[in-house]
Structure 1
Amino acid sequence: MRVRRRGLASINSEIRDGILPAAGDIAQVAREDNAVDHTPKNYRLVALIIACALFMEQMDATILATALPTMARDFHVPATNMSSALTSYLLALAIFIPASGRLADRFGSRTVFRAAILIFVAGSALCGVAPSLPFIMGARFLQGLGGAMMIPIGRLVLLRSVAKEDMVSAMSWLIMPALIGPILGPPVGGAIVTYLDWRWIFYLNLPIGLLGVFLVTRYIGEVRAETPVRADPWGFVLSGVALGCLLFGFEMTSRTGELPLALGLVGIGCVAGALYIRHARHRADPILDLSLMRVPTFRLSLIGGSLTRITQGAQPFLLPMMLQLGFGMTAAASGAITVAGAIGSLAMKGLAPRILRRWGFRRSLIIGGLGASAGYAVCGLFRPDWPVPLIFGVLMVSGFFMSFQFSAYNTIAYDEIPSDRMSSATSFYATFQQLMLSLGICVGAASLHVGMLGGGHTLPRLGDFTLAFWVVTAVSASATIWNARFAADAGAGMSGHRG
């Protein structure tokens, strides 16, 4: 059977919210004996299955940040080196997200989605038995390979499986578990590290993932594009080498004695990036379409959002480490505090449309960016004698403003993108989202390392965390320059702002 063609214009609101990727043209559903047709009764189940995969991925990431100091102790490495465990996962996302849509169109979204869950579960199992930092870096990269396919394709499955009139209801089922993951992650991770063993963080994914594979096989139909986009193997290799070498080169600058190797990797990354730019200019359908940067709102959103995401990437790495190493808190106590940012983010979701309607994108992004930067600058001033409710409140406000920034950037980015280029735009944007989050961890770790070298000590102190927070905050504050370049009426048709 066939699903009827659904123009991208009809789902622009979901795409512009950064929730869904763009669909291909006409897709074919291959009916199999164990696949269930869409009916008004089962679309909620399809959405919930996909939401559980998203919940697993989001919760895994937030739990891990709480466990890093304990893992560093078990691996006998400096705590700052544990940034590699976060970077390797985000690196895999940045490399493989551009190829996920093409794989789904060629091999079928259900097949690739199911394989992605199995890869994520296999990576989780290897993380659970990891004896060293290099081992867990490889296992986390494997997890990231699964996550890169699991989340974008899962959302694409929902887009192609749910009737238009059911989409709003289906999206509510999809979004809520994904928002709950970051809220539960820090306290659950803290409890596991404090009362059990950090390895259970990864073992929890095994039963959830295997159940997901069964449910996907039973309830989700196969979807393929009739005419898949031509593969771009050279583009994939060159972009992957560029992203990989640049990220690991920047990350290694925070390690003692590895500066020559780090500079070599950065140099290789720059050469590969230049070769990719040359390749993309001579290809009609490159895996990352650089010509999108000619679109003003897309370009400004990408640059401003990238600078902001550097701070957002560094914060989950720096804050739990500061609370545990600098304040002497247990993992459970720090997890109970770091959940504040996720609560602030959740509180923002219902207010963002009203704020944008009242103030418009340019003014809202300027004010929101300054508010988020100020909040994270205050985090650098946290000290053990600060009242916990005050720390919690600052983190909630910071999370509120930062989440608003991402909602606005993810929306305005697609204002001027034509429907036939929406798929390329979402892949390009998602890749740079993950790249900047990875770079944020690198910048945070490098700043912390510089503070330790300047002070002549081997363990980070509170002053070192202050320096690191202020460095990444200065980066996000610089996004104000780009926010001010948006036209006064940019995105007015989307926000309803009339100036």
Structure 2
Amino acid sequence: MGDTMAPQSAVANLSASSKRLLPWLVAVAFFMESLDTTILNTAVPAISAALGVAPLSMKAVLASYTLSLAVFIPISGWMADRFGTRRVFASAIGLFTVGSFLCGISGSIHLLVACRILQGCGGAMMVPVGRLTLVRTFAKADLLRTMSFVSIPALVAPMLGPIAGGLIVGYLHWRFIFFLNIPIGVVGLILVYIHLPDYREEISHRLDVVGLILFGSGIALLSYILEIFGEHTLSAREMSGLLVLSALLLAGYGVHAKKLTFPLLQLKLFTIRTFRAAVSGSFFTRLGIGGVPFLLPLLYQVGLGFTPIESGLLVMPQAIAAMSMKTVMPRLLRRVGYRGVLISNTLILGFLLIAFATIGPRTPVWVIILQAFLYGAFTSLQYTSMNTLVYADIADQDTSSASSIASTMQQMSISFGVAIAGLATAFFIPSTHSNKTEMIEGIHKALISLGILTIASTIVFRSLKTGDGDDVSQHKVLHPGG
């Protein structure tokens, strides 16, 4: 494979076949990580019974993975610069695969939690380092189509997760939920060493350990609060105290970062208009749409009486639509521009969420499928536009830090989105013994609230100017393979 190369040299030595395969390789890694966050939910009752613990105790298994992501994503950029993208990406897949195997053979809740932390360490590196590799491999003019391709797993996996989890528990054994990752991980490792370019900064600064402690602790604490949100396991005073402590830790990191030339995360990147709009816009948009994977299955299964498999099939058109947008997206962004697309598209998504609130027992199935298809198409356009705009004006030496910040904010927005959806649902459906009519009405009100929140998030994108992101969109966009 040769020694570690500088970015220009690595691109020059990258074969045509490797360049074609690279987006697929990153997409598979993204799929593994995205699927793992949803597939386990369906198996919670079976796993808790097998391990002899209460179902509520399984929350630690879910939370440990989220906490691990929150802590280790921020150091992914430094790791890639210091040790090289190929070594870090391969280590990430290896850790994730070994963690999956150990989770599958775990015989106690405590061992399972420990193995989930190990699995999360690998998952935390896969997405930002994979995205960083793509940014450094493809020119900005080619980045749009590449990112649109690799973003599909993030849309498909949350839909397939509950179905796959239900089928595995029903027909195989809950341990196969974890064993499923092993053959994919082994093949991925082989392909990484054959085809993944190795980018590494020639001069690497020391890791900001103090920043890691401050930021990692603050983010981990905030993730924990969001994970247990609404379960009443802590009193309001305890929750408030943890929130204040988390805010103090994060504020402490902000003060600390200003004093360093190379902090853990380069917060100065937020002075770049396109980066600030993309990252903050992504965060606030996901607050609204992030709860949809939680609310729609609830509406279809509890409210309308569909089976889990039928419910999963009703959201599958979203994945088909996401893939169909690949060809339309570049032309649309070239014609309308990032500002026009993100403002109008966010408004459309908000109104689509409100439209989901019209689904009831008498709604024809074809109407539900059509709404799911439209939602999938516009969600794909939204995610890809935001993800590519992040790098529009980022210098080459700052791409690793930009990737770490974007991935950290994305992970937090997902947690926030589910927490807000849970809060809205609990507010409008106060009783766990509500009948189907009350359940449907409550979910409808929650969807309307999230739709209004999504519409309000367009304010962030109004800071963009005409022409922002043209380096990414205003060129002939090639196939991801070059």
Once the two structures are superposed, residues 42-100 of structure 1 have per-residue CA deviations (whole angstroms, 9 ceiling, x without a partner) of: 5556665444333322343454466568778987547xx98876665444333322211
Q: Determine the structure 2 residue equivalent to 1:243.
A: 219
Percent identity, aligned pairs only, is: 34
C-alpha contact (below 8 Å) 2:148/2:380 kept by paired residues: no
Q: Determine the structure 1 residue equivalent to 2:473.
A: 495
Moved more, 344-353 or 207-216: 207-216
C-alpha contact (below 8 Å) 2:10/2:198 kept by paired residues: no
C-alpha contact (below 8 Å) 2:4/2:199 kept by paired residues: no
- The two structures have a TM-score, normalised by structure 2, of 0.81
Q: Determine the structure 2 residue equivalent to 1:288.
A: 265
Counterpart selection for 1:479 from 444, 450, 457 = 457
Distance 1:368 1:469 in 2: 18
Distance 2:61 2:434 in 1: 20
Distance 1:340 1:73 in 2: 34
1:164-203 equivalence runs, <5 A:
175=150, 178=153, 182=157, 185=161, 187-203=163-179
Instruction: Give me the CA root mean square deviation.
Output: 3.9
Counterpart selection for 1:268 from 207, 221, 245 = 245
C-alpha contact (below 8 Å) 1:238/1:276 kept by paired residues: yes
1:431-446 equivalence runs, <5 A:
431-446=408-423
Once the two structures are superposed, residues 439-498 of structure 1 have per-residue CA deviations (whole angstroms, 9 ceiling, x without a partner) of: 11121222223334x34648993333234333333322211222223223433454339x
Task: Write the letter of the residue equivalent to 1:206.
Answer: I
Q: Does 1:55 align with 2:36?
A: no
Distance 2:205 2:277 in 1: 28
Give the deviation of 1:317 after TM superposition.
2.4
| Number of matched pairs | 465
Task: Write the letter of the residue equivalent to 2:89.
Answer: F
C-alpha contact (below 8 Å) 1:65/1:316 kept by paired residues: no
Distance 1:456 1:175 in 2: 39
Q: Does 1:425 align with 2:370?
A: no
Q: Determine the structure 2 residue equivalent to 1:123.
A: 99
Unpaired runs of 5+ in structure 1? 8-25, 30-36
Q: Determine the structure 2 residue equivalent to 1:32.
A: none
Distance 2:466 2:67 in 1: 35
Distance 2:43 2:367 in 1: 24
Secondary structure of the corresponding residue to residue 264 of structure 2? coil
Q: Determine the structure 2 residue equivalent to 1:11.
A: none
Distance 2:297 2:111 in 1: 23
Once the two structures are superposed, residues 184-227 of structure 1 have per-residue CA deviations (whole angstroms, 9 ceiling, x without a partner) of: 55654453345444543222112222343345456667664332
- Cα distance 1:65–1:350, how it changes in 2: closer, same or farther (>3 A)? farther
- The two structures have a TM-score, normalised by structure 1, of 0.79
Which one has more relative contact order, counting CA pairs under 8 Å at least 6 apart? 2
C-alpha contact (below 8 Å) 1:189/1:335 kept by paired residues: no
C-alpha contact (below 8 Å) 1:187/1:335 kept by paired residues: yes
Q: Does 1:468 align with 2:446?
A: yes
Give the deviation of 1:116 after TM superposition.
1.6
Distance 2:133 2:361 in 1: 47
Counterpart selection for 1:371 from 334, 348, 356 = 348
- Cα distance 1:215–1:350, how it changes in 2: closer, same or farther (>3 A)? closer
Give the deviation of 1:254 after TM superposition.
0.7
Moved more, 458-467 or 241-250: 458-467
Task: Write the letter of the residue equivalent to 2:128.
Answer: P
C-alpha contact (below 8 Å) 2:226/2:415 kept by paired residues: no
Q: Determine the structure 1 residue equivalent to 2:478.
A: none
- Cα distance 1:137–1:323, how it changes in 2: closer, same or farther (>3 A)? farther
- Cα distance 1:252–1:2, how it changes in 2: closer, same or farther (>3 A)? closer
Secondary structure of the corresponding residue to residue 225 of structure 1? coil
Counterpart selection for 1:334 from 306, 311, 315 = 311
Give the deviation of 1:302 after TM superposition.
2.1
C-alpha contact (below 8 Å) 1:90/1:435 kept by paired residues: no
Once the two structures are superposed, residues 8-38 of structure 1 have per-residue CA deviations (whole angstroms, 9 ceiling, x without a partner) of: xxxxxxxxxxxxxxxxxx8899xxxxxxx85
Give the deviation of 1:371 after TM superposition.
0.8
Task: Write the letter of the residue equivalent to 2:356.
Answer: C
1:31-430 equivalence runs, <5 A:
39-40=15-16, 44=20, 48-61=24-37, 63-64=39-40, 77=55, 88-128=64-104, 139-156=115-132, 175=150, 178=153, 182=157, 185=161, 187-216=163-192, 224-258=200-234, 259-430=236-407
Unpaired runs of 5+ in structure 2? 476-482
C-alpha contact (below 8 Å) 1:84/1:251 kept by paired residues: no
Give the deviation of 1:408 after TM superposition.
2.0
C-alpha contact (below 8 Å) 1:313/1:436 kept by paired residues: yes
Give the deviation of 1:393 after TM superposition.
1.4
Task: Write the letter of the residue equivalent to 2:176.
Answer: W
